[in-house]
Amino acid sequence: MVKIIELIDDFKVEQQVKGRKKEYIDLCNWRLRKWLAYMTEQLDIEDLEQVKPKHIKQFVLYEQNSGQQKAITINNTLATLRVFFKFLIEEEYLDESDNPVRRLTSLKEDKRVIVTFNDDEVARILKSATGETYYNIRDKLILILLFDTGIRVSELCSIKNSDIARKHILIHGKGSKERMIYISKTMRKYMRKYEQARKIRFQNVQDVSDYYLLDQYADKLHRSRINKILKEHCQRAGVRKEVRCSPHDCRHYFAQKQLRNGIDVYSLSQLLGHYDTQMTTKYLRGLEQEDVLELGKQKSPLNTLKL
């Protein structure tokens, strides 16, 4: 008999060896331990050999009946369980035929329409970022990067000077997956301005971090600060209440704007760092019917044919 808690610890070490980000490892560990707490407290199961498909289904039903978890949250836990049991199979703790999540399907999620910024709000937000201090210039560049690239806030914080090239930025995304994002003319303009301001601001500081965006101590900027910067400028710009004003909403704006401009879903998924286009298509739900019809009209198969 092999204790599940020991296997969870082994899985955590495996993720660390693979170079997974600490935030990802901690989240997986939290989900697995929450699942294990249910297994031990409700079903009196502590050993791997005892776990059957019905026990996973009972856990899902328990989460649903609690009324505190949305379908998407439960599905995220199931995704972690799939990765965990795949690891156990690879390490030969378990046979594929005994995998309790092998035939388990995800829950149906509500198709929520994403409400995000409109062009006028984005323009007001960017115009509200004025001033010539290091912090003013840095904050405006942060806003530009969020809206112009659709970058995740964790990815933004993790950019290093060595990731910056003339035409692109190397992004270290989820699951250690790397991708490149473009540097637009507007971004380049404000990046140069920021780099000059940073040089002056920290010219007398000996230990300056290699991260691109720096806090007052010349160290890596924390995601909570970026959240605060965006919310402050959203308040100044008078953004609608139904928009959460989180960095992820900037990502939604970027995706929907790119779709309106005629980008294909596959290319957009590459820019966003999605594993497949299924994750990207959810942004289509935020487009009004008129936008979809206009896109279809622009991309009509017969547009380029001489008839």
For residue 154, which phi and psi values (nearest 5 degrees)?
Answer: -65, -35
Is residue 9 within 8 A of residue 28, CB to CB? The reply is no
Q: Which amino acid is at 159?
A: I
The tokens describing 161, both together, are 């000077």
Gap between the Cα atoms of 262 and 291, Å rounded: 10
The tokens describing 32, both together, are 């697995």
What domains, with CATH codes, occur in the chain? 4-98 (1.10.150), 119-292 (1.10.443.10)
The tokens describing 210, both together, are 């290699």
> What pTM was computed for the model?
0.68
Q: Which residues contact 52 (CB under 8 A, 6 or more apart)?
A: 100
pLDDT tens, N- to C-terminus, the chain (307 residues): 889 999 999 999 999 998 887 888 999 999 999 999 999 999 999 999 999 999 999 999 999 888 777 888 888 899 999 999 999 999 999 999 999 998 888 888 766 667 789 999 999 999 999 999 999 999 999 999 999 999 999 999 999 999 999 999 999 887 668 899 999 999 999 999 999 999 999 999 999 999 999 999 999 999 999 999 999 999 999 999 989 999 999 999 998 888 888 888 888 888 888 877 777 777 776 666 566 666 677 666 666 666 5
Q: Which residues contact 188 (CB under 8 A, 6 or more apart)?
A: none
Residues of the chain by 3-state class (helix, strand, coil), percent to 5 = 60, 5, 35
Query: Could you report the per-residue pLDDT of 150-197, keeping only the tens digit for each?
Result: 999 999 999 999 999 999 999 988 766 889 999 999 999 999 999 999
